[in-house]
Amino acid sequence: MLALYRRAIALRRELQTEERLDWLDTESEDVLHLRRPNGWRPSPTSIPGPLRCPKARSC
């Protein structure tokens, strides 16, 4: 159990970044696309139903 706790603390330090959000443009006014410094890109929506996602682009 102690090893699990130590690993969790190590991951927290490793994944912690500055508290910043960048707002990104989207094709829909109902979608808020954000980017965090650590690479996370949350996209909350304000519509009651499912949202059709655009096709992925290859990198």
Stated pTM of the model? 0.48
Residues 6-21 have a mean pLDDT of 86
Of 54 and 26, the one with more pLDDT: 26
User: Could you give the percent of the chain with pLDDT greater than 70?
Assistant: 90
- Partners of 31 in the beta sheet? 45
Determine the pLDDT at residue 39: 79
Q: What is the dihedral of CA 20, 18, 13, 42, to 10 degrees?
A: 10
Determine the pLDDT at residue 54: 67
